[in-house]
A = this chain, B = another copy of it.
Amino acid sequence: MTAAPERPLGDMDPVTFRRAGHELVEWVAQYLAESDHYPILPRLRPGEIRAALPDEAPEEGEPIEAILADFERAIVPGLTHWNHPGFFGYFAISASGPGVLAELLAAALNQQAMLWRTSPAATELEEVVLGWLRSLLRLPPVFEGVIYDTASISSLHALAAAREASVPEIRVRGLPGRDLPPLRVYCSEEAHSSIDKAVMLLGLGQNGLLRIPVDAAFRMRPEALADAVRADRARGVRPVAVVATVGTTSTTSVDPVPAVADICEAERVWLHIDAAYGGPAAMVPDCEWIFDGVARADSVVVNPHKWLFTPFDLSACYCRRMDAVRAAFALTPDYLQTREHGAARNLMDTGIQLGRRFRALKLWFVLRYFGAAGVRRRLADHIQLARRFAAWVDADPDFERLAPVPLSVVCFRAHPRALGDEPRRIDSDGDSVLDALNTELLDRVNASGEVFLSHTRIGNRVALRLAIGHLRTTEVHVARAWVLLRAALHELLTCQNDLA
């Protein structure tokens, strides 16, 4: 007789699931409410978490209580707390309460929304919520929407469609061994690295991407774009697509979309708008201008998981030529044929990924729970906070702002009077001193655990970035960042004077 297995086959029993589930709801409620009790960046070195965990899976199953205890012991100390209201790095994001609740449901429902038949609810709710968002963004209904995981994947699909529209029969004949001119995609110097990666994956190579210079406010210079397209055509290079950004990653600059759209229309080149971060702000009356001309684009990406309170991941891609996306990607093997082909949308036709989670559910929860007005109020508040912080920077003779603040991100640096405030000093030798100072300043402030800022380079200078986007961030947290920055700078300068 063999030993009976510890547990019967099948899944976790409902009693255990309920007990653990209720415990986790309590844990999550407390975590979301008190995320500011944790240091934002974990205080450990690479390898420490791995070293604290066994090298092999357990042979026999373990009680869920043991797993939850290890979660608290080994995992929580290794988290970077994106939920902390003092998280100002990269783009701040929010796992809102309604979004988290929807994700619990989505995980349990485990819908695989590849075909209408495999989840009518996920397929049609996606159409409904993307319609809501489209309307809030004032895009016309000719833009068909589809949800992907990330903006990287949204932009990849947009550029694949542009390639499909530009190179006849590429779907069948591909690129190699054909008598084709070099192909080119254009974006500004400030466009996101996902555009490079998409162009590389599509087989166009980094040479297939031309970065257009920007003006003093980090916006693509349309006349430089027009010149580049003309020059390329003259030397036999074929323009395929232009990517304009509404809210670039470093400075949140907004490319002049109307002028770029003029060029794209004249040159018959696909226009893709990367509004992954900035898009939601177009709902705010003050910021409607950022979407001027966007309705003339061929495709637009907006990420609700960035600045729309939706847990990661959910990227919305709108396309007025979804036929080109389908031409690039639709392919239905025998085992996926259904009666509804033709009568219903099958979302697998617009994607490289066959499998798709039920992502629409969380956006539905978020838009309903907060309402359009509630979303607008929160976005406007973030923009207001950023302007207030920018004003503090501007008013302080030891700091300087390095870029305009059209949205909710402030780029600035310490530039103490003591180090000289002649512009000439900054551009020559002074700059490396200032770079080192700002890097050290950033480290000190981030070491507090109370706030976290990231950095970038602007005009070859180290810049600090304060990005406001978390739902629980208030003036208290922004003011705290400012206090910490000034105190750390004071410390640093005092210490330098002591040494001197």
**Would you give the shortest CB distance from A381 to chain B, in whole angstroms?**
6
One complex includes copies of this chain to the number of 2
A49 to B127, CA, bound (A): 10
User: A397: CB under 8 A from chain B?
Assistant: no
A104 to B31, CA, bound (A): 12
**Would you give the shortest CB distance from A121 to chain B, in whole angstroms?**
3
Whether the pair A57, B149 counts as a contact (CB closer than 8 A) is no
Identify A11's interface contact among B59, B96, B120, B355, CB under 8 A. B96
Q: A5-B377, A25-B22, A100-B107 are in contact. Are A46 and B365 (CB under 8 A)?
A: no
Identify A32's interface contact among B17, B33, B80, CB under 8 A. B17
- A196-239 at interface with B (beta carbon < 8 Å): 196-208
Whether the pair B181, A67 counts as a contact (CB closer than 8 A) is no
The contact sample of 13 A-B pairs, CB cut-off 8 A, is A11-B96, A55-B135, A57-B133, A61-B371, A67-B98, A67-B365, A104-B104, A160-B201, A175-B205, A176-B181, A176-B182, A193-B336, A198-B352
Whether the pair A97, B11 counts as a contact (CB closer than 8 A) is yes
| Most chain B beta carbons < 10 A, residue from A31, A101, A125, A183 | A101
Count, chain A residues at interface, CB 8 A: 173
Whether the pair A471, B11 counts as a contact (CB closer than 8 A) is yes
- The residue of chain B having its C-beta at the shortest distance from the C-beta of A329 within the complex is B197
Identify A83's interface contact among B110, B153, B313, CB under 8 A. B110
> Per-residue CB proximity of A169-202 to B under 8 Å, as 1/0?
1111111111011110000000011101111111
- A105-128 at interface with B (beta carbon < 8 Å): 105-112, 116-121, 124-125, 127-128
A456 to B432, CA, bound (A): 65
- The residue of chain B having its C-beta at the shortest distance from the C-beta of A473 within the complex is B10
Identify A18's interface contact among B25, B94, B201, B378, CB under 8 A. B25
Q: A82-B111, A149-B149 are in contact. Are A103 and B103 (CB under 8 A)?
A: yes
Whether the pair B250, A335 counts as a contact (CB closer than 8 A) is yes
A242 to B399, CA, bound (A): 58
A182 to B95, CA, bound (A): 47
- The residue of chain B having its C-beta at the shortest distance from the C-beta of A50 within the complex is B124
Whether the pair B116, A46 counts as a contact (CB closer than 8 A) is yes
**Would you give the shortest CB distance from A465 to chain B, in whole angstroms?**
7
Whether the pair B14, A32 counts as a contact (CB closer than 8 A) is yes
User: A388: CB under 8 A from chain B?
Assistant: no
User: A354: CB under 8 A from chain B?
Assistant: yes
Q: Which residues of B contact A204 (CB under 8 A)?
A: 174-176, 203
Q: Which residues of B contact A494 (CB under 8 A)?
A: none
Whether the pair B25, A101 counts as a contact (CB closer than 8 A) is no
User: A281: CB under 8 A from chain B?
Assistant: no
**Would you give the shortest CB distance from A100 to chain B, in whole angstroms?**
5
A250 to B333, CA, bound (A): 10
Q: Which residues of B contact A83 (CB under 8 A)?
A: 108-110
User: A71: CB under 8 A from chain B?
Assistant: yes
A472 to B11, CA, bound (A): 6
